């Protein structure tokens, strides 16, 4: 039995031989994440932790163990107390880049599905309601030539812009920092403050990280600014949209529709009023769920874990300042 021990909080879609040659590996076998209580026990005996966005890696947990590395299989890491990890000089790995296209593709799928009412159409057909071709059956707005507002213009926001260009859309974006004029020009995008972007856009798509300043960024006031015909897409984090405001906006026709891959909380409770709305599509956080992408994410997360265990710098590290201590 190898001295070095690691805990992986879910089964991964790749083989783990290389890791097993370096460490004793325990993989949580259940479909549900390990309860926090179990994580607190595990962390006392392990050197490395590979976790997912469903695991709460808080200060108490970080301070209970002697971890050398935390490796998250996701690009987002709002479930991890980074400050607490940094204070203990624990590098935190993540998996940026490899999921950009898969997430942008899925965002586009949701945008198209919401605009052209694909999910409603399927329900309609299966319910035996398709009687004939009708001139006004399940109408939706044009996507080609419409105005798209991208909120958050990192890798995924920019990948969305590239797709939108092919649909001859007018593309507006907002972000903390305006990008270089050359990039704006090559992507064919215009920088707009959030409020103006919301007023102008036919489709609004969210790509900001979850942070204090993006918490409920889209609430009643922002829905008031949007067009009544607008459609909102969220494949970023559920906390960016106030769920009560979203319900009111969709139920009262303040906007025409929405499609979300992320919710607050996740999953939604079975009595959530959002589940009663026909003009809302809800997916179970599968933006990055292409086979190839999930396999690359797992491979990157294992590589970060191994680097942390063997004392190398993590290739993708959220808190590289730990190396300057
Ligand atoms: C992430 O990586 O942060 C996504 O939400 C899941 O792939």
pLDDT (tens digit per residue) in 21-79: 999 999 999 999 999 999 999 999 999 999 999 999 999 999 999 999 999 999 999 99
In this predicted model, what pLDDT tens digit does every residue of 165-185 receive, in sequence order? 999 999 999 999 999 999 999
> What's the length of the chain?
325
Residue nearest to atom 4 of ligand 1 (CA): 74
3 vs 6: CA distance, rounded Å? 10
Residue 124 CA to ligand 1 center (angstroms) comes to 32
Residue 51 CA to ligand 1 center (angstroms) comes to 12
Please tell me the predicted confidence (pLDDT) of residue 325.
Answer: 74
Stretch (H or E) spanning 305: helix 291-310
Residue nearest to atom 2 of ligand 1 (CA): 74
List C-alpha distances in Å: 128 to 37, 56, 121, 123, 133: 49, 45, 11, 9, 14
8 vs 174: CA distance, rounded Å? 37
> Of the residues 33, 74, 262, which should be mutated to test ligand 1's pocket, given the most ligand atoms within 8 Å of the CB?
74
Across residues 241-253, what is the average pLDDT? 98
User: Where in the sequence numbering do the catalytic residues fall?
Assistant: 237, 266, 285
Residue 67 CA to ligand 1 center (angstroms) comes to 23
In this predicted model, what pLDDT tens digit does every residue of 73-120 receive, in sequence order? 999 999 999 999 999 999 999 999 999 999 999 999 999 999 999 999
Q: Which atom of ligand 1 is nearest to the CA of 235?
A: 5
Please tell me the predicted confidence (pLDDT) of residue 1.
Answer: 79
The 92-93 sheet, strands edge to edge: 24-27, 5-8, 48-51, 69-72, 92-93
Pocket of ligand 1 (CB under 6 A): 53, 74-76, 99, 287-288
117 vs 74: CA distance, rounded Å? 30
Lookup: tokens for 109: 């799928």
Q: How many Cβ atoms from other residues are within 10 Å of residue 71's Cβ?
A: 28
In this predicted model, what pLDDT tens digit does every residue of 268-309 receive, in sequence order? 999 999 999 999 999 999 999 999 999 999 999 999 999 999
Residues 6+ apart with CB under 8 A from 259: 110, 111, 113, 114, 231, 232, 233, 234, 280, 281, 282, 283
Q: What is the pTM of this model?
A: 0.97
Please tell me the predicted confidence (pLDDT) of residue 245.
Answer: 98
Contact 152, 207 (CB under 8 A): yes
Band (pLDDT 50/70/90 cuts) for residue 238 is: very high
269 vs 201: CA distance, rounded Å? 31
Residue 259 CA to ligand 1 center (angstroms) comes to 17
Residue nearest to atom 6 of ligand 1 (CA): 74
Percent of the chain with pLDDT over 70: 100
Residues 6+ apart with CB under 8 A from 169: 143, 144, 145, 146, 147, 148
Q: Hey, what domains does the chain have and what are their CATH numbers?
A: 5-98+291-324 (3.40.50.720), 100-282 (3.40.50.720)
Q: Which atom of ligand 1 is nearest to the CA of 77?
A: 3
In this predicted model, what pLDDT tens digit does every residue of 134-169 receive, in sequence order? 999 999 999 999 999 999 999 999 999 999 999 999
């Amino acid at each position: 039995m190898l001295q070095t021990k690691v805990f992986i909080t879910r089964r991964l879609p790749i083989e783990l031989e290389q890791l097993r040659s370096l460490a004793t590996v325990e993989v949580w076998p259940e479909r549900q994440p390990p309860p926090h209580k179990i994580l607190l026990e595990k962390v006392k005996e392990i050197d490395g932790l590979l976790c997912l966005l469903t695991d709460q890696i808080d200060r108490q947990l970080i301070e209970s163990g002697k971890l050398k590395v935390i490796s998250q299989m996701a690009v987002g890491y709002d479930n991890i107390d980074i400050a607490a990890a940094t204070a203990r000089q624990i590098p935190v790995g993540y998996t940026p880049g490899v999921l950009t296209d898969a997430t942008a593709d899925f965002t586009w799928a949701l945008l198209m599905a919401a605009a052209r009412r694909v999910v409603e159409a399927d329900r309609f057909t299966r319910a035996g309601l398709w009687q004939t071709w009708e001139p006004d059956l399940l109408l939706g707005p044009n996507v080609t030539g419409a105005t798209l507002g991208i909120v958050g213009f990192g890798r995924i926001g920019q990948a969305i812009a590239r797709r939108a260009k092919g649909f001859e859309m007018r593309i507006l974006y907002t972000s903390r920092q305006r990008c270089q004029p050359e990039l704006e020009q090559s992507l064919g995008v215009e920088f707009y403050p959030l409020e103006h972007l919301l007023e102008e856009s036919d489709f609004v798509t969210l790509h900001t990280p979850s942070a204090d300043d993006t918490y409920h960024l889209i609430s009643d006031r922002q829905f008031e600014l949007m067009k009544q015909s607008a459609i909102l897409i969220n494949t970023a984090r559920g906390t960016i949209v106030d769920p009560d405001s979203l319900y009111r906006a969709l139920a009262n026709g303040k906007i025409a529709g929405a499609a979300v891959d992320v919710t607050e909380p996740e999953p939604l409770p079975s009595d959530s009023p959002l589940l009663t709305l026909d003009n809302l599509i809800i997916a179970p956080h599968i933006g990055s769920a292409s086979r190839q992408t999930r396999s690359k994410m797992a491979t990157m997360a294992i590589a970060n874990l191994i680097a942390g265990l063997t004392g190398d710098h993590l290739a993708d590290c959220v808190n590289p300042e730990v190396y300057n201590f």
